[in-house]
């Protein structure tokens, strides 16, 4: 599935309209971001049930601010409208795939219960 560009205009629709969204906060001047981009793209092709979204922090500073992004790249995972993971840093492909596996295995009823 191709990646989606997240903006303030489509953010709510993308997040609320999908059960599993992985967000890559990036900028074109960021070397680690450009090194991670192919990993993100390859993973998006292997997981049809996940929306892979990118936020250009230069073009969408409001979204970066809403997620309190302080360094890039930063990854965020939203499942069932709940932020379940956020961390800065580019990940090697095997680590990123393991992160996706772990996010898939989350018991979202338990996550929501613990968030209360």
pLDDT in tens, the chain (116 residues): 678 999 999 999 999 999 999 999 999 999 999 999 999 999 999 999 999 999 999 999 999 999 999 999 999 999 999 999 999 999 999 999 999 999 999 998 888 888 76
Tokens of residue 26, six digits: 């990036």
Residue 90 domain-assigned?
yes
Residue 114 domain-assigned?
no
- Could you tell me which residues come within 8 angstroms of residue 65 by beta carbon, excluding any fewer than 6 positions away? none
Residue 110 domain-assigned?
no
Instruction: Count up the domains in the chain and report the number.
Output: 1
Q: What is the pTM of this model?
A: 0.94
pLDDT of residue 103: 95
Task: Name the residues annotated as catalytic.
Answer: 30, 33
Across the strands, what pairs with 87? Answer: 75
Contact 108, 82 (CB under 8 A): yes
CATH number at residue 81: 3.40.30.10
Residue 115 domain-assigned?
no
60-to-8, 23, 63, 90 alpha-carbon distances in Å? 7, 13, 6, 20
How many Cβ atoms sit within 10 Å of the Cβ of residue 75? Answer: 21
Angle between helices 93-104 and 31-46 (to 10 degrees): 50
pLDDT of residue 1: 64
Residue 98 domain-assigned?
yes
The enclosing H or E element of 95 equals helix 93-104
Domain hosting 38: range is 4-105
């Amino acid at each position: 599935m191709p990646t989606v560009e997240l903006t303030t205009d489509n953010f709510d629709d993308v997040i609320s309209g999908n059960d599993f969204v992985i967000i890559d906060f990036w900028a074109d001047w960021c070397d680690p971001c450009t090194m991670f981009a192919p990993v993100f793209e390859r993973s998006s092709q292997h997981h049809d049930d996940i929306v892979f979204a990118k936020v250009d922090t230069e073009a969408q500073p409001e979204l970066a601010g809403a997620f309190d992004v302080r360094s890039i790249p930063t990854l965020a995972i939203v499942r069932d409208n709940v932020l379940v993971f956020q961390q800065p840093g580019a990940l090697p492909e095997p680590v990123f795939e393991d992160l996706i596996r772990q996010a898939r295995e989350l018991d979202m009823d338990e996550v929501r219960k613990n968030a209360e």
